[in-house]
A = this chain, B = another copy of it.
C-alpha cells in the first residue's frame, strides 16, 4: 500500500465479502474479494462456532493487513449484521442520517485485534414494515459522493436496483422513507421456475427493443390487469410467433421494471432529482424505464460502498477528521 490505511472497511453480504483498505478521505488504497459470504462460510478443523468461521474468513482475506496495521479501526456493513451473520446489528429507525447510523454501531470484540464495528440496517416501522441492510451504507456513499462534488440537493430519491430494489427518499441528508421491490428475484423465479422459462432462451444478447416493448405494456392501459396478468404475455406472444424465445428474457425484464416504475412514479415528487446506484447495465434499464414514464434522467453512480463506510466511520470517530 502507498500509505498506511486509516480504516479497514468490509462490505460483507450474502454471497461475497469485499474488503477495502481506505486512506484519508476514503480513498481506496487496496481491495480484495472473497466468495465467503454469510451464506457460504467455510467449515473445517478449528471452526467450531459461527464466530470462528467469520474470523477465519477475515484472517484468510486480510490477515496481512491486520498484522501490519494492528491499530487500524475496522467497520463492516451488510448481512454480516443479520441474524445469520457474525452478530445481529439492530435496525435503526427513520429518519436516519450517517451520524445516526454512527451512534448505533454494534461492536464485535476480537481477541488480539481491533473490534469490528457493524453498521445497523434501517427499519421503516408501520403496518407494512420495511427493512434494508447494506443499502443504508450505499446511500451514505451516494450522499457523500454528491457532497464531495458540491452537488447534494436538499431532497432526492436514491434508487438501488438489484435482487431487491430499494428506493429511498432523502431529505436534508436523512432517509425519511423507503420502498422495496423484489423485481430482480421475481424475474429469476419466473424465468427459472415457471412455464415462462420453457420458451425463453436465456443468455441471449440484450434486446433493447424487446425491453422497451415490455416497458410500454406495463406502463400503458395494456398493463392495467397488473403484473400477475401481463407476465403471461411472454408465453402468448411466443405461442403466436410475435416474440422470439431470444427476445423473451428482455421483454419480461421490461414488463417487471415497467410495473415497478409505474407504481413508483405517482409518489415521486415533481422535479425530484433521482440518483441510481448499482450495476451499470441494470441502472441503465431503470433509467430507460424512468424516462419512458416521463421522469427526468437520473444520475448514475457505482462503487460507493467504501465511501459510505468511510463516512459512517468518520461520523463515529473511528477515523481522524482533518
* A residues in contact (CB < 8 Å) with B: 123, 125, 127-131, 164, 179-183, 185-186, 188-190, 192-195, 217, 222, 224-233, 235-237, 239-240, 242, 256, 259-260, 262-264, 266-267
With A192-B193, A193-B192, A193-B193 known as contacts, the answer to whether A228 contacts B186 (CB < 8 A) is yes
Q: Provide the residues of chain B in CB contact with A195, threshold 8 Å.
A: 164, 185
Contacting pair A189 B193 (CB below 8 A): yes
Contacting pair B186 A236 (CB below 8 A): no
A181 to B232, CA, bound (A): 7
With A185-B195, A186-B194, A217-B128 known as contacts, the answer to whether A256 contacts B228 (CB < 8 A) is yes
Contacting pair A189 B194 (CB below 8 A): yes
| Most central of A130, A180, A195 by chain B CB within 10 Å | A180
With A192-B193, A194-B186 known as contacts, the answer to whether A181 contacts B260 (CB < 8 A) is no
Known: A164-B195, A181-B225, A181-B228. 14 other contacts (CB 8 A): A128-B236, A129-B233, A130-B232, A130-B233, A130-B236, A164-B232, A180-B232, A182-B229, A182-B232, A185-B195, A192-B193, A224-B266, A226-B226, A226-B260
Selected from B127, B231, B263, the residue in CB contact (under 8 A) with A229 is B263
Q: Provide the residues of chain B in CB contact with A266, threshold 8 Å.
A: 224
Quickly give the copy total for this chain. Answer: 2
A236 to B129, CA, bound (A): 6
6 tightest Cβ-Cβ pairs between the two chains A and B = A226-B263, A189-B189, A129-B236, A180-B232, A193-B193, A189-B193
Least CB distance from A300 to B in Å reads 22
Q: Provide the residues of chain B in CB contact with A237, threshold 8 Å.
A: 128-129
Contacting pair A190 B179 (CB below 8 A): no
With A128-B217, A128-B233 known as contacts, the answer to whether A226 contacts B193 (CB < 8 A) is no
Q: Provide the residues of chain B in CB contact with A130, threshold 8 Å.
A: 232-233, 236
A199 to B162, CA, bound (A): 21
Q: Provide the residues of chain B in CB contact with A186, threshold 8 Å.
A: 186, 190, 194, 228, 231
Q: Provide the residues of chain B in CB contact with A259, threshold 8 Å.
A: 226, 228
Contacting pair B182 A194 (CB below 8 A): yes
Q: Provide the residues of chain B in CB contact with A224, threshold 8 Å.
A: 263, 266-267
Contacting pair A129 B240 (CB below 8 A): yes
| Most central of A164, A183, A263 by chain B CB within 10 Å | A263
Q: List 22 A-B contacts (CB under 8 A).
A: A123-B240, A128-B230, A128-B236, A129-B236, A129-B237, A129-B242, A131-B240, A164-B232, A180-B232, A182-B194, A182-B229, A186-B186, A186-B231, A188-B194, A189-B193, A193-B193, A225-B264, A226-B226, A226-B227, A226-B262, A227-B227, A229-B263
With A181-B229, A227-B227 known as contacts, the answer to whether A127 contacts B222 (CB < 8 A) is yes
A190 to B232, CA, bound (A): 16
Q: Provide the residues of chain B in CB contact with A267, threshold 8 Å.
A: 224
